[in-house]
């Protein structure tokens, strides 16, 4: 039962539709006077075209060249801060961008590109201030719920009302785009609030948070630290990565530094076990056990899978295991730095909680920590509902993508969810497609082509009915390499002639074992 003070309130759009006549426009400096329920607009200022110093926040370092725009900041009760940027040369569309990690900052850097494309664009801190620090949650369940799903929804309502007030008309199309926790926010929108957006992009989504935090973040933290000899230093990752690619690179018929579908890679890290004591070019027996646990994924003591394991392919390279798993020392990888605040301040509400105390037991009649976490937070956080019929009926389009080499969120979670939707409501290709990205790490990076324009693909689908049968990705380890991304379960197959660095030499087809 949610506390009445944090229940989603009535539609702001219904109110503003009555308050603002069609074609009435509100000048930028007068938007602070706009009366919306539970919303305070704290500032509204015109920004001239030119270099714009992005405020502090995730990824906010550069000063991109921006068009002139009205910069609006506001707050939705009780604590949800947001900004919406309104370009002078508007494309009649609205796009909200998602957050990463534990949120707590407005995603200014992600707002730049949509604004440059003419979008009215927005972001929110989801109701708390702090970047991947869980102190904000202790004793504040209303902040937890805002972070979990409410913050994005109420910000969306406020933003649409402000857009209509400023321009005098509603946006013709409304889109949401996010990766990681932003992908979780995207999935929350299509499942919980299916009428908010016409189109949604969900990248590497963390849409099963309780199980992700237990079966990946915590599981990997314990695997690396429970046994003093089990920690795998980053210095050994090149050896592990090289062995993985030696074993599996050519499984797709091309030796190109990319593992096409790592589900087919059955690399056994035991092949690297040291023969004569620890050495830089081998793994000790405890380290082999650690790697096997990481590939296995979290399980209860009875063997029930909590969350799928990390797939082979992301062991070496910047942004791979060295970032997410090993870090620069025990407890410094992102699985730990994200996971531990979640358990200390959101699950157990105890700053002194010790990760070693978590019980993966799941026996009938036994109150395990797995059950406790799910019972307390599952309904608030998890977005695994396969019934997307309401979003489909709204006319919505959903593009989901996931890096096959993601060392943070197992790509199998995206496949599992996609297939569950197909089982529930049948063929999804008219409104929902999944694209697996070979060789891509978490939300980008990695040896495979990992730069692609999902916004244009979504626009073409939602506005012109042109379904994205093929999306071209570029970059990766080979600068000018291009590859097609195909709607799952199709995959990119080389025609057998022509350069494997040019997407025109590939077709999208079902795997040969299908």
Q: Domains along the chain? A: 4-208+383-438 (3.40.50.1820), 211-380 (no CATH)
CB contact at 8 A, 177 and 97: yes
73, β-bridge pairs: 43, 83
Distance in angstroms (rounded) separating the CA atoms of residues 438 and 450: 8
Closest CA to 457 of 502, 391, 401: 401
Overall size of the chain counted in residues: 514
d(CA 266, CA 247): 8
Burial category of 50 from C-beta neighbours within 10 Å (exposed 0-12, middle 13-18, buried 19 and up): exposed
Question: Which distant-in-sequence residues (6+ apart) come within 8 Å of 279 by Cβ?
Answer: none
**Any catalytic annotation for residue 149?**
no
* Catalytic entry in 249, 252, 406, 408: 406
Q: Which tokens belong to 22?
A: 């069609």
d(CA 495, CA 506): 5
DSSP output for 47-92? E-SEE--PPSSTT-----EE--EEEEEEEETTTEEEEEEEESS--S
pLDDT digits (tens, 9 = 90+) for 167-203: 999 999 999 999 999 999 999 999 999 999 999 999 9
442 catalytic? Reply is: yes
Say which residues have a Cβ less than 8 Å from residue 284's Cβ, sequence separation at least 6: 229, 273, 274, 278
Task: Give the burial string for 124-159 (b: 16+ CB within 10 Å, else e).
Answer: bbbbbeeebebebbbebbbbbbbbbbbbbbbbbbbb
For residue 61, what pLDDT is reported?
A: 63
Residue where the block lists tokens 């092949």: 271
**From 174, 180, 322, 410, active-site residue:** 180
The reply to whether 133 belongs to the active site is no
Q: Which two tokens stand for residue 384?
A: 């695994």
Query: Which pLDDT belongs to residue 10?
Result: 38
Please say whether the beta carbons of 265 and 309 come within 8 A: no
Burial class (CB in 10 A: 0-12, 13-18, 19+), 168: middle
Work out the number of other CB atoms within 10 angstroms of the CB of residue 289: 17
CA–CA separation, 314 vs 243, rounded Å? 12
Side-chain half-sphere of 321: how many Cα atoms within 13 Å? 27
What pLDDT is attached to residue 17? Answer: 36
Predicted structure pTM score: 0.94
Using alpha carbons only, what angle is made at residue 57 by residues 382 and 95, rounded to the nearest 5 degrees? Answer: 60
504 contact partners, CB below 8 Å, separation of at least 6? 498
Q: For the chain, list residues with pLDDT below 50.
A: 1-22, 365, 514
pLDDT given at position 56:
74
């Amino acid at each position: 039962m949610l506390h009445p003070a944090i229940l989603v309130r009535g539609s702001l759009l219904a109110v503003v539709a009555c308050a603002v006549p069609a074609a009435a426009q509100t000048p930028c400096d007068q938007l602070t006077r706009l009366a919306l329920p539970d919303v305070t607009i704290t500032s509204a200022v015109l920004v001239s075209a030119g270099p714009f110093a992005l405020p502090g926040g995730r990824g906010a370092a550069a000063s991109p060249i921006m068009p002139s725009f009205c910069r609006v900041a506001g707050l939705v009760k009780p604590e949800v801060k947001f900004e919406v940027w309104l370009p002078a040369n508007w494309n009649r569309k609205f796009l909200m961008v998602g957050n990463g990690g534990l949120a707590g900052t407005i995603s200014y850097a992600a707002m730049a590109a949509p604004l440059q494309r003419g979008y009215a664009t927005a972001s929110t801190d989801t109701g708390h201030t702090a970047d991947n620090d869980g102190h904000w949650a202790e004793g504040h369940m209303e902040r937890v719920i805002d972070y979990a799903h409410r913050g994005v929804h109420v910000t969306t309502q406020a933003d649409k009302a402000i857009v209509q007030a400023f321009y005098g008309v509603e946006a013709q199309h409304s889109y949401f785009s996010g990766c990681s926790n932003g992908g979780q926010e995207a999935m929350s929108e299509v499942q919980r609030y299916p009428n908010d957006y016409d189109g949604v992009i969900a990248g590497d989504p963390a849409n099963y948070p309780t199980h992700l935090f237990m079966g990946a973040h915590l599981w990997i933290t314990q695997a690396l630290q429970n046994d003093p000899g089990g920690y795998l230093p980053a210095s050994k990752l090149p050896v592990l990565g090289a062995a993985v690619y030696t074993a599996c690179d050519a499984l797709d018929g091309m030796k190109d530094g990319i593992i096409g579908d790592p589900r087919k890679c059955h690399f056994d890290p035991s092949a690297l076990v040291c023969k004569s004591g620890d050495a830089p070019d081998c793994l000790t027996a405890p380290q082999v056990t650690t790697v096997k646990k990481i590939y296995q994924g979290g399980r209860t003591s009875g063997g029930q899978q909590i969350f799928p394991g990390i797939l082979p392919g992301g062991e070496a390279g910047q942004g791979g295991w060295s970032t997410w798993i090993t870090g620069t020392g025990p407890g410094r990888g992102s699985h730990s730095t994200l996971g531990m605040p979640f358990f200390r301040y959101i699950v157990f509400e105890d700053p002194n909680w010790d990760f070693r105390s978590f019980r993966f037991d799941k026996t009938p009649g036994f109150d395990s920590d797995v059950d406790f976490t799910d019972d307390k937070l599952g309904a608030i956080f998890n977005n695994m509902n396969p019934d997307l019929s309401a979003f489909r009926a709204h006319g919505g389009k959903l593009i989901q993508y996931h890096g096959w080499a993601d060392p943070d969120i197992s790509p199998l979670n995206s496949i599992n969810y996609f297939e569950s939707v197909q089982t529930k409501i049948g063929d999804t290709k008219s409104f929902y497609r999944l694209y697996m990205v070979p060789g891509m790490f978490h939300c980008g990076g990695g040896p495979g082509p990992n730069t692609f324009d999902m916004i244009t693909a979504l626009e073409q689908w939602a506005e012109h009915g042109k379904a994205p049968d093929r999306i071209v990705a570029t970059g990766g380890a080979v600068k000018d390499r291009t590859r097609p991304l195909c709607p799952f379960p199709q995959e990119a197959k080389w025609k057998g002639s022509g350069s494997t660095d040019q997407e025109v030499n590939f077709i999208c087809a079902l795997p040969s074992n299908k």
